[in-house]
């Protein structure tokens, strides 16, 4: 059973109030299970492919190898916003709030390094191999 509450706080301005929802936080397991679900800010079609979790200010896994044509998904599980930006400007997400996703389809073989532009210590790599003929 889920329980939610509404909290009304008086504002500093007379006659104003802040309303805040106190819904329970989703579990990490539930968030990971929904990694390819709603909240995708990329506009790309959702397709099967690896999902990189953003959790505790880290990308996990930090390195992924895919074949050309694969779509990689990122899911922010942190309560802080994060971005995904390739070093060579091939792809860039908007700021992802908690439970938001971003996807990018890698059509060309190569090594793509990326970073969270808000937290530059967060780095990762996508290695794209040629599709077998």
Q: For 72-128, how does the pLDDT look when each residue is reduced to its tens digit (9 = 90+)?
A: 999 999 999 999 999 999 999 999 999 999 999 999 999 999 999 999 999 999 999
Give all domains of the chain, ordered by start, each with its CATH number: 27-129 (2.60.40.420)
Query: What letter would DSSP give residue 106?
Result: E
Q: Are 111 and 126 in contact (CB under 8 A)?
A: yes
For the segment 14-24, the average pLDDT, to the nearest whole number, is 39
pLDDT-derived band at 40, boundaries 50, 70, 90: low
Can you give the pLDDT at residue 131?
Answer: 82
Q: Would you say residue 21 has pLDDT above 80? A: no
| Residue 110, helix vs strand vs coil | strand
Cα–Cα distance for residue pair 83/118, rounded to 1 Å: 7
Cα–Cα distance for residue pair 83/8, rounded to 1 Å: 32
Query: What letter would DSSP give residue 123?
Result: E
Q: Are 98 and 78 in contact (CB under 8 A)?
A: yes
Cα–Cα distance for residue pair 35/54, rounded to 1 Å: 10
């Amino acid at each position: 059973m889920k329980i939610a509450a509404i909290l009304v706080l008086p504002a500093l301005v007379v006659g104003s109030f802040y309303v805040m929802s106190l819904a329970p936080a989703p579990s990490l397991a539930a968030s990971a299970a929904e990694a390819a679900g709603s909240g995708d800010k990329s506009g790309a079609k959702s397709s099967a492919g690896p999902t990189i979790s953003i959790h505790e200010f880290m990308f996990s896994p930090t390195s992924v190898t895919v074949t050309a044509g694969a779509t990689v998904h990122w899911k922010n599980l942190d309560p802080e916003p994060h971005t995904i930006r390739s070093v060579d400007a091939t792809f860039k997400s908007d700021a992802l709030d908690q439970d938001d996703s971003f996807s990018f389809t890698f059509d060309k073989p190569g090594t793509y390094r990326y970073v969270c532009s808000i937290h530059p210590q967060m780095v990762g790599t996508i290695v794209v191999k040629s599709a077998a003929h």
